[in-house]
Amino acid sequence: MWVSASEEGEASKRVIPYDFSQPTTLAREHMRILETGFETFSRHWGTQLVAYLRTTARVHFDSVELVTYDDYVASLPPTTAMLVLSVEGGRRSGVLQIPLETVLDWIDRMLGGRGSYGKVPNRDLTEIEQELLRQLMVRVLNDLDYSFSSIMPLDTALKTIQYTPQAVQVVAASTPVLVSTFTQEVEGAPAMPSTLMLPAEGIVEALRNSMEREETSADDRKLIEQQRVELDRAVQEVPVDVTVRLRQVGITPREVVGLNVGDTLPLHQSAAEPLEVVVGDMVLAHAAVGTSGSRLAGLIVDTKRNTDDN
């Protein structure tokens, strides 16, 4: 319920009374995600109108709010086109409300006319007109599903078309619902508002779960990065055994068994050829024979990076 208050010297202000019996509100982050989804839907909806009406058309997203279903119905005109939707594969219900004058104008254009806004008295749609509207709504609802795919699978479908909002009870009167408002602008017709009502319970729950997953993922990424840094630091300080060796020589088991004290093994390595610096089975560098004080040492002459081609 909106209450207008006027004061001398100030413009009229709209005041929304807070209902403590229904303190449900939308978080700012949730609101922004919903706005993005509805803005995407409005652009696709406008594209479908251009294709079906064969004229210039645009759909603007205006706002989204969380209200009760009773308050939503009370805000609608006595007679309008109420497209009752199944949501989440029939688990829940929604409503796409479009002024009846706008629907009749669309149908006239789809049949090849130039628009009949305000020229045809408001009436129920015929079976042919309902079928034409259903064909358009199939594409529009597909775009709605696509626009919300990053939030949750809506899986919407058109069930019935009603004309008296007060007689359409798709959910309980006190049930919280999301109501988004759009404005259609079709060439040759006045801009008219439409509304989309979706059940709040499933969508808000999906938004909360999505944010929890993002926060958890962020914490996990931070933990993984910290673990990687600590692992790198630990690896740099792990002691390893380094071996400086001559070229390996291959001999048979019979020759090994027949070795005696004083036997000589040919190494097939010249005195000028560098030795191998090995960690495990990996050759990391080459070294020349040298000394360090009174000790024998290896002087590194080149390094190499081992790669696994497999």
Measured N-to-C along each axis, helices 127-147 and 28-53 cross at an angle, to the nearest 10 degrees, of 140
Q: Show the low-confidence residues of the chain (pLDDT under 70).
A: 1-25, 212-219, 305-310
pLDDT, tens digit (0-9, with 9 covering 90-100), for 114-123 = 888 878 788 8
Those residues with Cβ within 8 angstroms of residue 107's Cβ, 6 or more apart along the chain or in another chain? 125, 129, 132, 133
What is the phi/psi pair of residue 221, to 5°? -65, -40
Superfamily of domain 15-213 in the CATH hierarchy:
CheC-like (3.40.1550.10)
Q: Structure tokens of 143?
A: 């775009």
Q: Which residues pair with 45 in a beta bridge?
A: none
pLDDT on residue 233:
83
pLDDT on residue 140:
96
pLDDT on residue 133:
95
CA angle 176, 1, 171 (to 5 degrees): 25
- Where do the domains of the chain lie? 15-213, 273-305
Between the CA of residue 206 and those of 210, 215, 252, what are the distances in Å? Answer: 6, 14, 70
CB-based burial of residue 11 (10 Å sphere; 0-12 exposed, 13-18 middle, 19+ buried)?
exposed
pTM above 0.75, yes or no: no
DSSP 71-135: HHHHTS-SS-EEEEEEETTTTEEEEEEE-HHHHHHHHHHHTT-S--TTTS---PPPHHHHHHHHH
CB atoms within 10 A of CB 28: 8
pLDDT on residue 11:
44
pLDDT on residue 305:
62
For the chain, the C-alpha Rg in angstroms (whole number) is 38
Strands 57-68 and 275-279: unpaired
